[in-house]
């Protein structure tokens, strides 16, 4: 059997490795558009900051590791067309020559591409690019282009357009290099995947580290200004803004890269991603899809699109297993995420109140804010965790949680407790039954997770005692 995977990032490599793990006799080929298979795109900001000095350390596995596992790699090779009837994949190799490879099963893991907002200077017949100091960021090639700008232009000032996860990490990374960063976000608060009250804590952390933040502000143009760049924008009150800087980074999100699959006739779903069932089958025979190019099955919302590295790994593993005759289902995502911004950690899982309210699931959601300490207050160094728990007041079912705190508060591991509870459809009250660890330097007899849950039940459970 010959399994071909398109894409050398999380989904494609996970599919290939799982297939080889289950059937060492399967012939596996991974088609990679660049020369960097299995590199951590999530690690890019930490090479920029200098925390990871050698970019080669961003590789989850080396080329030699993959080949030792029996994975054949076609590097610097682009898939140009899928011949569904003939079970053949058309390729263009590194020398520009056309080639064809046959497959018994195909996994499409083409990922996502950076969204390019319609900003004058960024779009049009002659858009500004890396040579001008204007960068998108979603691949190792993008990383190398940014690093060339940092080394050759030695910028002192930068504008980061977008204040989501990567935008915040890049703002920190550039600031760590001594660059003055202005961060511009069109929405009312930074990190808009959190409630604004928690986003405001993140904004303050940026400000405390001398990052200038403008929210509710839309960039209207980017232009060359001698050897620098001029960025213009409009603020929430209509006030015009402009900045003359050395570097512009545009990180306003991604969109699924589905052109190849769509041209072959694959059905598309949420947000234009490739429609897949829970076994990662597409609408095309013998063709699977996984990762950021594919629809996400969300445990609370059903089919949606939520591009996350953790999801891509899991979907790829499912696709690879089923491609060699297995029968595994992707258990679903909860959108669990975490980000470090200087000395602050922000995390979420499940749904916010506003998301649950529009989910058409019959929920009557409510959110309670609390600030439990990370460990017993009498032990030095206790720090509060800003927590927001969302539950269904009709059934008591846990719907989501958000946490913001400072190390060593273990925010990421505490959000994982909420994620595990969500996975198993627990009520908010059920969290109090969990047997969680305790020692005064690290926790309390009632962990911060449970204290946040108790704050919610005090507000809602007595009035709505029914259970899910």
- CATH number at 349 reads 3.30.390.30
122 located within any domain = no
Q: Which domain holds residue 413?
A: 343-460
Residues 220 and 166 in one domain: yes
Mind listing the pLDDT tens digit for each residue in 351-371? 999 999 999 899 999 999 999
Residues 237 and 264 in one domain: no
Residues 43 and 59 in one domain: yes
Strands 240-245 and 228-234: antiparallel
Q: Mean pLDDT in the chain?
A: 96
Q: Which two tokens stand for residue 155?
A: 């910028």
What integer pLDDT is reported at residue 124 of this predicted model?
87
What integer pLDDT is reported at residue 238 of this predicted model?
85
What integer pLDDT is reported at residue 461 of this predicted model?
65
Measured over the CA atoms of residue 77, residue 83, residue 84 and residue 88, the dihedral's sign is negative
Residues 248 and 263 in one domain: no
Mind listing the pLDDT tens digit for each residue in 51-97? 999 999 999 999 999 999 999 999 999 999 999 999 999 999 999 99
- CATH number at 104 reads 3.50.50.60
305 located within any domain = yes
Residues 150 and 235 in one domain: yes
336 located within any domain = no
Residues 259 and 240 in one domain: no
Q: Which residues lie below 8 Å from residue 195, measured CB to CB, with a gap of 6+?
A: 352, 353, 367, 388, 402
Residues 352 and 286 in one domain: no
Listed residues 234, 252, 270: the one ending a domain:
252
Residues 142 and 204 in one domain: yes
Distance of CA 190 to the CA centre of its chain: 16
Listed residues 229, 252, 275: the one ending a domain:
252
Listed residues 230, 252, 274: the one ending a domain:
252
197 located within any domain = yes
Q: How far apart are CA 414 and CA 417, in angstroms?
A: 5
Residues 36 and 106 in one domain: yes
What integer pLDDT is reported at residue 157 of this predicted model?
98
Strands 98-102 and 88-92: antiparallel
Total number of domains constituting the chain: 3
Residues 171 and 245 in one domain: yes
Residues 194 and 294 in one domain: no
| Ordered mean pLDDT values, 10 residues apiece, the chain (468 residues) | 96 98 97 96 96 96 96 98 98 97 98 94 93 95 97 97 97 98 98 97 98 97 95 93 98 96 98 98 98 97 96 98 97 98 98 94 96 96 97 96 97 98 97 97 97 96 50
117 located within any domain = no
220 located within any domain = yes
Phi, psi of 341 (to 5 degrees): -125, 105
Residues 248 and 282 in one domain: no
- Predicted structure pTM score: 0.94
8 located within any domain = yes
14 located within any domain = yes
Q: How far apart are CA 218 and CA 234, in angstroms?
A: 5
Closest CA to 107 of 139, 82, 75, 138: 82
């Amino acid at each position: 059997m010959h399994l071909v995977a398109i894409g050398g990032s999380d989904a494609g490599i996970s599919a290939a490795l799982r297939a080889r793990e289950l059937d060492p006799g399967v012939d596996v080929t991974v088609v990679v558009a660049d020369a960097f298979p299995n590199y951590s795109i999530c690690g890019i900001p930490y090479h920029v900051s200098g925390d990871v000095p050698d970019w080669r350390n961003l590789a989850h596995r080396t080329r030699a590791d993959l080949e030792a596992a029996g994975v054949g790699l076609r590097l610097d090779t682009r898939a140009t067309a899928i011949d569904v009837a003939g079970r053949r994949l058309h390729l263009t190799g590194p020398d520009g020559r056309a080639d064809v490879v046959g497959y018994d099963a195909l996994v499409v893991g083409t990922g996502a591409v950076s969204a390019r907002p319609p900003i004058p200077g960024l779009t049009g017949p002659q858009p500004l690019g890396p040579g001008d100091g204007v960068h998108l960021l979603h691949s190792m090639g993008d990383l190398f282009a940014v690093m060339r700008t940092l080394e050759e232009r030695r910028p002192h000032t930068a504008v980061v357009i977008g204040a989501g996860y990567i935008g915040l990490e890049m703002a920190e990374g550039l600031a760590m290099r001594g660059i003055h960063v202005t961060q511009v976000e069109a929405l009312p608060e930074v990190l808009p995947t959190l409630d604004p009250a928690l986003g405001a804590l993140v904004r303050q952390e940026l400000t405390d580290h001398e990052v200038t933040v403008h929210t509710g502000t839309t960039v209207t143009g980017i232009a060359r200004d001698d050897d620098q760049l001029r960025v213009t924008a409009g603020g929430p009150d209509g006030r015009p803004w402009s900045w003359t800087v050395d570097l512009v980074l545009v990180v306003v999100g991604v969109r699924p890269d589905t052109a190849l699959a769509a041209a072959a006739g694959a059905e598309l779903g949420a947000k234009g991603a490739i429609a897949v069932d829970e076994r990662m089958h597409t609408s095309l025979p013998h063709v699977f899809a996984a990762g950021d190019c594919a629809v996400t099955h969300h445990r609370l919302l059903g089919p949606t699109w939520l591009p996350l590295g953790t999801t891509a790994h899991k979907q790829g593993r499912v696709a690879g297993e089923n491609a060699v005759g297995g029968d595994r289902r992707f258990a679903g995502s909860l959108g669990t995420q975490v980000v470090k911004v200087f000395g602050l950690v922000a995390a979420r899982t499940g749904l916010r109140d506003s998301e649950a309210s529009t989910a058409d699931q019959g929920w009557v959601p409510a959110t309670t804010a609390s600030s439990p300490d990370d460990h017993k207050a009498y032990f030095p160094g206790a720090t509060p965790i800003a927590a927001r728990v969302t539950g269904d007041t009709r059934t008591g079912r846990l719907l989501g949680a958000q946490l913001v705190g400072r190390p060593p508060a273990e925010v990421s591991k505490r959000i994982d407790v909420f994620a595990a509870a969500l996975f198993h459809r627990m009520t908010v009250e059920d969290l109090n039954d969990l047997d969680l660890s305790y020692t005064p330097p690290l926790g309390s007899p009632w962990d911060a997770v449970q204290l946040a849950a108790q704050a919610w039940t005090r507000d809602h459970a007595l009035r709505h005692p029914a259970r899910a």
